[in-house]
Structure 1
Amino acid sequence: MPYKRGKTWWISFTAADGTYVRRSAGTEDYAAAKALEQEHRGAAWRQKELGVDPPRTFEEVMVEYLGNAASSQKSFATTQFRVKSLQRHFAGMMMNELSGRDVREYSAARTKAGKSSATINRELAALSAAINWCVTELEWKLPNPVKGRKLKEPEGRVRWITRAEVDGLCRIVRKQRFGDMLEDFIRLAVNTGCRKEEMLGLEWRRVDFANRLIYLDGEHTKAAKRRSIPLNEGALAALKGRMAVRAEYCPTTPWVFTRKNGARVADPSTGFDNACIKAGITDFTIHDLRHTCAAWLVSAGVPLIEIRDLLGHSTIQMTEKYAHLAPARVRNAVSVLDMGLSQSRYSENPAVLQEGYLRLVKP
C-alpha cells in the first residue's frame, strides 16, 4: 500500500519472486501513487512469469534517480533544472527504446534554441547518469545512447581584469548598499581564487589567522576534496574587515559573509553586476574573480601545478587554459636557439656548442 514520506507518496510491495520493492511515486496524489503501485506489481509479475522486460518511461527513470541518487548531490538544484529541460523533449518516452537519433534530435533542438554545446552536454550528462544509476542499482535493462555523443565544446572561457580595474570596481562598490561586505568579498576572491559558494559558506571556525590559512573540507568544495588556502595581506585585510562587522553587530554568527543580523549572505550577484555596469566592466561575472586570481598568478610566473592546487582543480588540464598568459616561458625557451646560433659563428665544434647551451640553461 502507498505511504507518505513528507508530502510525497511512496509505494511498497513484495514482488512474485520475493523481492521487496520500495520507491518514491514522485507524486502528492494518492490515487496516482496507487495506480503506479499496481502498474509496478503487474510489471514485476510479467517479468518473472513471462520473462518480459517491463517498459520504463522517462519519468520512471528520473523519479528513481532524483529520489535516491541525485538528492545527495551538492548540485541537486542544478540537476533538477537540467532534468526540466530534458523532460520537455523526452516526456513519456520509453527509455527501453531510446536511440542515438533521439539524442541527436535533442541536441539539435537545444542548439536551435540558442543553448551552447557546454549546456547541452551537461544536460545530456544528467540523462546518462540517471540511466546508468537505474542499470546499476535497479538492474533495469536500458540502453544508454548518450555515450559517445557529446558535442564539441569551444575552448574554455577566460575573462579577467587588472588590479587597477579591481580597485576601480571596489571604489564603486563602497558607495552601494552592503558595499563594505561586497568589497571584502571581491578582495578575498581575487586573493584566494575561492569559488562563490566556498566563500559564502565559509565559517569562522575554518579561518586560521595564526597560520594564515583557510581550511575547506570535502563537503565545502566542488571536487569534494579537502584543501587549505594560504592568506596573503589582501585576503587577511578582507577577513579582518568581516571580523570587525561581526564583533560590532553579530558576535555569535558562524558565517564570515553575513548581514548585520547574523544571517548568511545568500547571493551578492545583483550588487556585483550593478557595480560592474557602473564601472564599465562588461562580460564579467563573480566567477571571473576566480579567473582573475589565476591570471595574476600565471602572469607573475607561478607554476601551473601550484595554481592547480590552490584553485582545487581536479586535473592540470583545467589549469592549462591560463598558460597563454605566461608567454615569457616559451620566449625563454626559444632563446636557447639564438645562443646556439651565436656560438656557431665562432666554432663548429659540437663540444663548444654544448658548453654554451649548458651555461644558458644552468639554474
Structure 2
Amino acid sequence: MPYKREDSPYWWIFVKQADGKRVRRSSGTADFAAAKAIEQQARADAWKEKEWGVNPPRSFNEVMLPYLRHASQHQRSYETTAHRVKALRAYFTGSVMNDIGAKEIRAYTASRIEAGVSPATVNRELAALSAAINWCNTELEWGLPNAVKGRTLKEPEGRVRWLTRAEVESLCRTARKQRNGALLDDFIRVAVNTGCRKEEMLGLEWRRVDMENKLIYLDGIHTKAGKRRSIPLNEGALDALKGRMAYRAEACPASPWVFARSSGERVACIRKGFEVACERAGIKDFVIHDLRHTCAAHLISAGVALAEVRDLLGHSTIMMTERYAHLAPARVRDAVGVLDGLREKPSSRSVHADVPVYQGKVALKLVTP
C-alpha cells in the first residue's frame, strides 16, 4: 500500500523484486490512486520476471540514474558524460528502454543533426546511452536490447588546428596585457612546450614539478589514459614555471597549485580569458586544446619521430599521433628517394640491342650462315 513521507510530496511504494530484494521508492505522483496502480504494476512485473523470465519495462531514468551514480565514482570524465546525457534525457525521458530499437535511434540522430550538432557529438551521446545499457545488462542483469550498436554516424577526419611560432608569441604578448595576463601567458607557454592537456596543467601541483631534473610527473589519476608519464621540460616551459614560482612566493606561498589565484585556490577555468586573447590577437577558430596540437605540429615539423611524440603527448595508440604525419613531408620524400637508387642504369639493361634477356639471363642468338 502506498505511504507518505515527510520529506517528499509524492506517495511512496513498496515492491519485492524478482531476486527477493525489497525496494521502497517514490511513485513520482501525489495522486494516491495512481500511486497504488503503479505499485500493483511494479509487483506484477516483478512476478512475471521471476516466474516467466520476462524482462520488466525499464524507463530511461531507471537505466541512466544508476549508471551515472556509478560513473560519478569511477569515471574521471564524469562531467563530460553528464553533459552528454542532458540531450538524451530531453529526448528519451518517458520512453521504455525495452522498446527502443533502430527506428528510435535513427529518429534521435536525425533530430540532433537538424539542431546543428556535429556527427562526432551525436556519436558521443549515443556512446553514453550504449554504455548505460551495457552497464545495466552486466551489473544488474536486465537483458535490455542495445539498438545503438552499429548505428553511429561517419565522422570527418580529426581536426588539427595549430599556430606558428610567430602566432604563439603574438598570442602570449596579447594575453599578458589582460587581467591576470601573466598567468595566462605562462599557461600558454607551458602548454605549447609540453603538450599537456588543460586538466593536467590546471591540476598540477608543485610537488610533481622537478625543476632540478627538468621533469613533470603525472600519475594515472591525472591523465586521460590513466597511465603514469613523465614530461621533460625545455627552457621555454622552465621559464614559464619560474614565473609561476615567483608569483606564488609573493602572493600565495602556501598554495600547492602551479596555476593558482592570489587566494591560493586552484584556477578552475581559463577559457574566457583565453578566448579574449585570441580575439584581440586576430586568431580565429582556436581553442585551448589546440595548444596541444601546436606542440605536436612543431615537433613533427622539426623531424621528431611519431613514436616519440606519442609518448610525450600520452596517446594510447600511434593512430592518434598519425593525424600530424602530414606535417613531416620530408619523411615521405626520403622514402620515395630510395626508388632512385633502385633504377637500372641504361648500360645494364641488355647485352646488345637485339639480344633478348629472359629471367635475367642472356639468350644467345643463333645466326645461320
Using the size of structure 1 for normalisation, the TM-score is 0.86
Cα distance in 2, alignment partners of residues 103 and 72 from structure 1: 27
Within a 5 Å distance, the mapping from 1:100-249 to structure 2 comes to 100-249=102-251
Within a 5 Å distance, the mapping from 1:272-287 to structure 2 comes to 272-287=274-289
Unpaired stretches in structure 2, ≥5 consecutive residues = 351-369
Cα distance in 1, alignment partners of residues 27 and 313 from structure 2: 39
Structure 1 counterpart of 2:218, one-letter code: L
Aligned to 1:256: 258
Aligned to 1:20: 21
Cα distance in 1, alignment partners of residues 256 and 314 from structure 2: 24
Alignment of 1:330 onto 2:332: yes
- Find the residue that maps to 1:215 and give its secondary structure: strand
> Which deviations, in whole Å up to 9, do the C-alpha atoms of 1:265-317 show, x marking residues without a partner?
11111111111111111101110000000000100111111111111111111
- Find the residue that maps to 1:197 and give its secondary structure: helix
Distance 1:262 1:38, change over 3 A: farther
Aligned to 1:88: 90
Alignment of 1:99 onto 2:101: yes
The 10-residue stretch of structure 1 (231-240 or 121-130) with the greater mean CA deviation from structure 2: 231-240
Distance 1:93 1:17, change over 3 A: closer
Cα distance in 2, alignment partners of residues 106 and 334 from structure 1: 48
Distance 1:208 1:346, change over 3 A: farther
Within a 5 Å distance, the mapping from 1:304-343 to structure 2 comes to 304-341=306-343
Cα distance in 2, alignment partners of residues 228 and 34 from structure 1: 60
* Percent sequence identity over aligned pairs: 64
Displacement of 1:84 in angstroms is 1.2
Structure 2 counterpart of 1:141, one-letter code: G
Distance 1:17 1:99, change over 3 A: closer
Structure 2 counterpart of 1:344, one-letter code: K
Aligned to 1:345: 346
Aligned to 2:56: 54
Distance 1:346 1:64, change over 3 A: same
Aligned to 1:75: 77
Cα distance in 1, alignment partners of residues 99 and 114 from structure 2: 25
For the Cα contact (< 8 Å) 1:12–1:20, is it kept in 2? no
For the Cα contact (< 8 Å) 1:82–1:126, is it kept in 2? yes
Distance 1:13 1:139, change over 3 A: farther
Cα distance in 1, alignment partners of residues 35 and 133 from structure 2: 22
Cα distance in 2, alignment partners of residues 292 and 24 from structure 1: 52
Cα distance in 2, alignment partners of residues 329 and 2 from structure 1: 74
Decide which structure has the larger Cα Rg and report it. 2
Cα distance in 1, alignment partners of residues 185 and 327 from structure 2: 26
Cα distance in 1, alignment partners of residues 27 and 125 from structure 2: 21
RMSD in angstroms over aligned alpha carbons? 3.0
Alignment of 1:43 onto 2:45: yes
Cα distance in 1, alignment partners of residues 120 and 24 from structure 2: 33
Aligned length: 344
Displacement of 1:39 in angstroms is 5.9
Distance 1:46 1:242, change over 3 A: same
Structure 2 counterpart of 1:280, one-letter code: G
Match of 1:288 among 280, 287, 290: 290
For the Cα contact (< 8 Å) 2:254–2:264, is it kept in 1? yes
Aligned to 2:356: none
Distance 1:124 1:24, change over 3 A: farther
- Find the residue that maps to 1:214 and give its secondary structure: strand
Unpaired stretches in structure 1, ≥5 consecutive residues = 350-363
> Which deviations, in whole Å up to 9, do the C-alpha atoms of 1:115-143 show, x marking residues without a partner?
11100000000000000001111110210
For the Cα contact (< 8 Å) 1:24–1:67, is it kept in 2? no
Displacement of 1:40 in angstroms is 4.7
For the Cα contact (< 8 Å) 2:14–2:24, is it kept in 1? no
Larger helix share, 1 or 2: 1
Cα distance in 1, alignment partners of residues 336 and 62 from structure 2: 60
Structure 1 counterpart of 2:328, one-letter code: A
For the Cα contact (< 8 Å) 2:13–2:35, is it kept in 1? no
Aligned to 1:63: 65
- Find the residue that maps to 2:174 and give its secondary structure: helix
